[in-house]
Amino acid sequence: MKHPIYTTFGALLVVLLVVAEVRGWTPMRPTEVKNIPRSIRDNPGAYRPHYRTFFGSGHYMRGK
Amino acid sequence: MSAPAVASLTCPQCGSAIELRTLDQALSVVCASCGSILDARDPNLHVLQEFKARQKFTPQIPLGTRGTLKGEKWEVVGYQVRGATIDGATYYWEEYLLFNPYKGFRYLTQYDGHWNDVQVLKAAPDETMSGGRPVVTLHGETFKHFQTATAETYFVLGEFPWQVRVGDRATASDFVAPPRMLSKEKTDEETTWSLGTYTPAAQIWSAFGLPGEPPHARGVYANQPDEFVSRAGSMAKRYLLFVAVIAAIVFIRLVTASRETVFATNAQFFRPGAPADSLAFVTPSFTLRGRTTDLEVTTEAQVDNGWAYFEYALVNEQTGTTYEFGREVSYYYGRDEDGNWSEGSRRDHALLPSVPAGQYFLRVAPEAQVPTPFLEYRIVVRRDVPTYTPYLIALALLALPPILVGLRAWGMESARWKESDYSSSGGDDDDDDE
């Protein structure tokens, strides 16, 4: 077989793509949190996310 | 080859013993002791040329060494050092004359550790021009002109089937088709063509049972085979095969992806600038059915020269597992001295990986800064949506090895032709600069 390392690498990549499709993998990595309290439905404003997109004041900072 | 037949003679110049290995085929023989070149056909060994070499060279394969090269037995009977002066610098190479009483003569040449197995051609190949450069064709194979220079003999040892002289000059032209090289040597009397085949030094060492390791080859020789060229070609073919396989997977994915809309909310309004917490809300429940798959959350907001930020939490009602993420939608536009411009988009797609089946709702906390008092936005959630990103990454990764091998091949070809008459830094091209 020509280029055994490259062929193996490519075959593994193709297998990985198929597995990724079957499992629904995407490059995005959201913060996954377990056991969120059910009270979030009653008081969604009180919920605090666990990821950090806020700075200081607790508000998203963006401007043009 | 049976035991070598050797005739013993005496040098008329210094009295040293001379061995004649090629017997009646030798036209000249060199005394190893005093370096005089003698007429081998003359019973009195008439002196053709007294020692004239300015420098003495020692052959890497001693004269008289016998070996089996490419299945045939050969004995080293002659040695000469030749050189060509280019741009004031003289480049030397060695030529070993090999003899087999049944096969005749052949040569080994050596330059900077690069060896060639050379045979004289009985017929001249066809000479033509291609792309403004001379080419020759032999047995259907085209050889490109590499270099033409005046070759001069600087040192001789052993015996030769021609009347050799130190100082002999010939116009030598090399044509290459790696691993082969055609060489044309032209003197006032004759034109000789020979075909050389690049031979690894280790093969020469093994063939003649030479001690130690051969000196490492330096640089890239004119007809040195470039394994990377063929490797890059076959690797590119393998890459195209992978492209076809991946294209097939993408096609299957595009056909089979359900793209099921599991939730959509339209025309929500809020007062921009208000704190996100006060505007947070949860959506009605929606159900994800089927296998674990990706989940696309599309956010579309009618922002004009402003931004909106949506803090999302996708909550599984049964397990309490939550996927948190934030998305920004911003769109700016205007006009300046270069004309109209715009930046950003009013639509954003987030693709959550591996979301299992279950009952879910979204907690949304919107925040915005726009010049209008209200903002209209829309959220759409779809499951099992195809994405091209992993395929593009895979194709890029797969392309890297062929590209690297191709670059290596290109580098070797550049180094090869740098030594030719067609180098940008020398040779024929110099004439253009003048």
Which pLDDT tens digit goes with each residue over B64-83? 999 999 999 999 999 999 99
Alpha carbon of B378 to those of A41, B118, B343, B364, B422: distances in Å? 20, 79, 20, 12, 65
Whether B394 and B299 map to the same domain: the answer is no
Which CATH number fits the domain that encloses residue B303? 2.60.120.380
Q: Does B318 touch chain A (CB under 8 A)?
A: no
The shortest CB-CB distance from A40 to any of B276, B321, B363 is to B363
The shortest CB-CB distance from A17 to any of B249, B322, B384 is to B249
Nearest Cα residue to B364 out of B397, B401, B324: B324
From chain A, pick out residues whose CB is under 8 angstroms from the CB of B238.
2-3, 6-7, 10
What pLDDT, on the 0 to 100 scale, is given for residue B396? 96
What pLDDT, on the 0 to 100 scale, is given for residue B427? 42
- B193 pLDDT exceeds 90? yes
Q: What is the least distance, in Å, from the CA of B223 to any CA of chain A?
A: 24
Whether B18 and B148 map to the same domain: the answer is yes
The shortest CB-CB distance from B322 to any of A10, A17, A33 is to A33
* B25 assigned to some structural domain: yes
Whether B278 and B358 map to the same domain: the answer is yes
What pLDDT, on the 0 to 100 scale, is given for residue B1? 54
Mean pLDDT of chain B: 89
Q: Mean pLDDT, to the nearest integer, of B146-163?
A: 93
Mean pLDDT of chain A: 75
Q: Does B284 touch chain A (CB under 8 A)?
A: no
Across B11-15, B33-37, B321-325, B372-376, the highest mean pLDDT is recorded for B321-325
Residue of B nearest to A46 (CA): B277
Residue A60's pLDDT band, with cuts at 50, 70 and 90, is: low
Q: Does B171 touch chain A (CB under 8 A)?
A: no
CA atoms of B280 and B63, how far apart (whole Å): 95
- A52 pLDDT exceeds 60? no
Q: Which residue has the higher pLDDT, A40 or A17?
A: A17
Residues composing chain A: 64
Torsion B116-B121-B126-B127 (CA) sign: positive
Q: Which residue has the higher pLDDT, B423 or B282?
A: B282
CA atoms of B214 and B217, how far apart (whole Å): 9
What pLDDT, on the 0 to 100 scale, is given for residue B397? 95
What pLDDT, on the 0 to 100 scale, is given for residue B100? 94
What pLDDT, on the 0 to 100 scale, is given for residue B5? 57
**Which range among B223-227, B277-281, B351-355 shows the weakest confidence by mean pLDDT?**
B277-281
Whether B250 and B262 map to the same domain: the answer is no
Whether B292 and B192 map to the same domain: the answer is no
* B82 assigned to some structural domain: yes
Whether ipTM tops 0.95, in short, is no
Q: How many domains does chain B have?
A: 3
- B84 pLDDT exceeds 60? yes
A9 contacts B276? CB cut-off 8 A: no
* B288 assigned to some structural domain: yes
Q: What is the least distance, in Å, from the CA of A26 to any CA of chain B?
A: 5
- B184 pLDDT exceeds 70? yes
B324 contacts A30? CB cut-off 8 A: yes
Domain span at A37: 4-60
From chain A, pick out residues whose CB is under 8 angstroms from the CB of B289.
none
What pLDDT, on the 0 to 100 scale, is given for residue B15? 85
Residue of B nearest to A10 (CA): B398
Q: Mean pLDDT, to the nearest integer, of B204-220?
A: 95
Q: Does B268 touch chain A (CB under 8 A)?
A: no
Nearest Cα residue to B11 out of B22, B163, B32, B21: B32
* B166 assigned to some structural domain: yes
- A45 pLDDT exceeds 60? yes
Residue B403 token pair: 């590209």
Whether B347 and B397 map to the same domain: the answer is no
Q: What is the least distance, in Å, from the CA of A61 to any CA of chain B?
A: 9
Whether B118 and B159 map to the same domain: the answer is yes
Domain span at B337: 258-385
Whether B156 and B287 map to the same domain: the answer is no
Under an 8 Å CB criterion, which residues of A touch B? 2-3, 6-7, 9-10, 13-14, 16-18, 20-38, 40-41, 44-47, 49-51, 53, 59-60, 62-64
Residue from B240, B277, B397 to probe the interface with A (highest A Cβ count within 10 Å): B277
Whether B157 and B214 map to the same domain: the answer is yes
Whether B250 and B264 map to the same domain: the answer is no
What pLDDT, on the 0 to 100 scale, is given for residue B434? 35
B399, B239 contact by CB (below 8 A): yes
From chain B, pick out residues whose CB is under 8 angstroms from the CB of A41.
282, 361
From chain B, pick out residues whose CB is under 8 angstroms from the CB of A38.
320
Nearest Cα residue to B196 out of B187, B214, B206, B184: B184
Residue from A2, A5, A6, A39 to probe the interface with B (highest B Cβ count within 10 Å): A6
B328 contacts A62? CB cut-off 8 A: yes
A29 contacts B351? CB cut-off 8 A: no
Residues composing chain B: 434
The shortest CB-CB distance from B246 to any of A17, A36, A45 is to A17
Q: Could you count the other beta carbons within 10 Å of the beta carbon of residue B349?
A: 16
* B2 assigned to some structural domain: no
Task: Let me know if B214 is exposed, middle or buried by CB neighbors in 10 A (0-12, 13-18, 19+).
Answer: middle
Q: How many domains does chain A have?
A: 1
B384 contacts A24? CB cut-off 8 A: yes
Q: Mean pLDDT, to the nearest integer, of B20-27?
A: 83
* B423 assigned to some structural domain: yes
What pLDDT, on the 0 to 100 scale, is given for residue B394? 93
Whether B166 and B307 map to the same domain: the answer is no
Alpha carbon of B292 to those of B94, B283, B324, B360, B383: distances in Å? 72, 22, 18, 14, 9
What pLDDT, on the 0 to 100 scale, is given for residue B369? 84
B281 contacts A28? CB cut-off 8 A: no
Nearest Cα residue to B245 out of B394, B119, B367, B131: B394
* B1 assigned to some structural domain: no
B309, B367 contact by CB (below 8 A): yes
* B47 assigned to some structural domain: yes
Whether B346 and B244 map to the same domain: the answer is no
- B45 pLDDT exceeds 90? no
